[in-house]
Structure 1
Amino acid sequence: MDTRTFNDPEEYKKQAQKHWMSAPCGSNYSAKELMSNEFFEEVERHRYCTHPWILENIKRFDLKGKKVLEIGFGMGTDHLSLAKQGGIMHGVDLTPRNLEIIRKRFEIYGLKSELLVSDAENLPYDDNLFDVVYSFGVIHHSPDIQRIISEIHRVLRPGGKCWVTVYHKNSIFFWWSVFLIDWVFKGGFRRESLKGRLSRIEYPNDNPNIVVHLYTRKKFAAMFSIAGFRKIQSSINHLIADDIASLGKYIPRKILERLAKKFGWYVIIEAVK
């Protein structure tokens, strides 16, 4: 679901940089000294405890000796896991602060990656360069997602694979927690637009100017078809108790896991060029 008209895409990108420069994604999950080994370990523990399916997927990827590009490496939790799978790592991110953080993280673990501050709508790589492109929860913040998907297709070699996730429109989190409970029942509509409320789901929840797209499974898969991908597989995942306002704590974990496959917060696409 496109939630706004993009009159100035470059301004939205600046807003994204500003937001994650001040609060790198996931940094609120540790009180340890920023960029210390203990800080990184706590951030990783939280991510894979709440999102175990991410690590499960990464561990099944055949990456040994293959060129891997991550779009939106953030603080590098998944980037590190991909590197541990044997990938020859490269990464781009829009935020200079993330580059500083991930370099420190890889230094601690004695690993290497070629990292750049760059816009994913214009990837700074030659055609047919990578074996795998990975991006988790990033490209839905871009004004032009279709362009990014086309860029992913361009930089992948023939037969190369991508694994990409975005926010799911038909999710319990959006329709129940954000729309019905917060925006409607609590009167949020009196204070702000729905697009502004949706932007503020991103910690520290104070910037109504971040681009946030939501997609159905069918719509997101169609965008990969338009870009020329084949063997496109789509799925849905991720639903935890905290995502279901007021009711989540009463729902058994096994039921949450079942619901996640249809009404979870992420649409996942795995596709082959």
Structure 2
Amino acid sequence: MIFACPIDGTELNDSLVCEKGHTFRIIDSEIYDFLLKDMKSSELLEKIAPIYERIWAPLGMILTAHMSYSKLLKSIANFINGNIVIDVGTGTGKIFDFINCDKCLGVDISLKFLKYLKKKRSKVIAIRSDASNLPIKSNIADGVSSTLVLHMLPNPSFAIKEISRVLKPNGKCSIVVLANTNSIMGRVLAKWWRINLRHYDYYANLLLSNSLKIIERRDLGPWILINCVKTS
């Protein structure tokens, strides 16, 4: 069992009941639901879910970073390949078309996106959960990715702490965030999404304080790709 109770951290049985009696469910026999409170993803993202991976994300990446969306995902996949790989904020799970993993876990709060994921990528374990409270055991993942997500969170520090927790020592993580890079496009996107545009140093300090050593930074227009290795 790869799951742990997101409330108390104890192990879950096959019926998704933890040692202290907290009970979770499986939706439509295919989506593990661990969401502890009513959380909604962006209304805009919910509306564009059917075209997100075919049109929205590829077009957006070309226009803002002058880079193919698939090329970006392939680059991340090549870095985090492993036995157990988790994608936090997975959306439709497009990245799993490129990742080599035996157990592939896609985490998102959007039930709509997770249903698309299971329709297109049935081998991926679909998990409905908050990125800041992953229902996954500690120190089990060989790789973790979070692409175009962390900057959308009110407090990314909780999610980064969770990413470090579930990673094995020497496990790898790759994140892509919208950051303050003195990019006009970055400021436009931040205003559009109504998010706080944080500096690279903000994310770098959070990663380092959670035992995630930065080994690569790549600037992609308003986006920054950061590759890390867990040191302990």
TM-score by length of structure 2 reads 0.70
CA separation of 1:56 and 1:92: change in aligned 2, threshold 3 A? closer
Q: Distance in 1 between matches of 2:197 and 2:104?
A: 29
Report the Cα distance in structure 1 between the residues aligned to 2:45 and 2:226, rounded to whole angstroms: 25
**Matching of residue 106 in structure 1 with residue 121 in structure 2:** yes
Q: Does 2:192 correspond to 1:200?
A: yes
> Partner of 1:266 in structure 2?
223
1:227 corresponds to: 210
**1:115-170 CA distance string (max 9 Å, x none):** 11110000001111111001111111111200100000111111111001110212
Find the aligned partners of 1:19 and 1:45 in 2 and give their Cα distance: 16
Instruction: State whether structure 2 residue 125 is matched by structure 1 residue 143.
Output: no
Output the CA distance in 1 between the equivalents of 2:57 and 2:204. Answer: 31
C-alpha distance in 2, partners of 1:90/1:20? Answer: 21
Change (3 A) 1:25 1:162: farther
For the 8 Å contact 2:170–2:229, the answer to whether it is kept is: yes
1:208-227 map, 5 Å: 212-227=195-210
CA RMSD of aligned residues (A): 3.0
Correspondence for 2:137: 126
How far apart in 1 are the matches of 2:185 and 2:57?
25
Question: Structure 1, residues 55-82: CA drift from partner, whole Å, max 9, x if none?
Answer: 4513533625x10000011122212222
Residue 85 of structure 2 aligns with which residue? 68
SS of the equivalent of 2:121 reads helix
Q: Deviations over 1:77-105 (max 9, x none)?
A: 212222xx345311100110001111111
Gap runs ≥5 in structure 1: 1-9, 31-41, 179-196, 202-207, 239-263
**Structure index of larger Rg:** 1
1:167 and 1:214 map into 2 onto residues whose CA distance is 7
Equivalent pair of 1:217/1:235 in contact (CA under 8 Å): no
Aligned 1:42-81 pairs, distance under 5 A: 50-51=68-69, 53-58=71-76, 60-61=78-79, 63-64=81-82, 66-81=83-98
**Equivalent pairs: percent with the same residue?**
25
With over 3 angstroms needed to count, the CA separation of the structure-2 counterparts of 1:219 and 1:44, relative to structure 1, is: closer
CA 1:26–1:163: 2 relative to 1, 3 Å: farther
The corresponding residue for 1:191 is: none
Which residue of the other structure, out of 150, 155, 177, is the alignment partner of 2:166?
A: 155
Q: Does the aligned pair in 2 maintain the 1:135–1:164 contact within 8 Å? A: yes
Q: Secondary structure of the residue that 1:122 maps to in structure 2?
A: coil
Give unmatched runs, 5+ long, in structure 2.
Answer: 1-36
Point out the structure with the larger strand share: 2
Return the offset for 1:25.
8.0
Equivalent residue number for residue 176 of structure 2: 165
1:97 equivalenced with 2:80 (yes/no) = no
1:127 is paired with a residue whose SS is: coil
Letter paired with 1:74: G
The answer to which structure has the higher helix fraction is 1
**CA offset at residue 43 of structure 1?**
7.3
SS at match of 1:120: coil
Deviations 1:16-51, CA, capped at 9 Å, x for gaps: 353322222853855xxxxxxxxxxx9779968633
Q: Which residue number in structure 2 is paired with residue 33 of structure 1?
A: none
TM (norm. structure 1) is 0.60
Tell whether the 8 Å contact from 1:234 to 1:267 is kept in structure 2 after alignment: no
Match of 2:219 among 237, 243, 259: 237
For the structure 1 residues 81 and 213, does the alpha-carbon distance in structure 2 shift closer, same or farther, using more than 3 Å as the test? farther
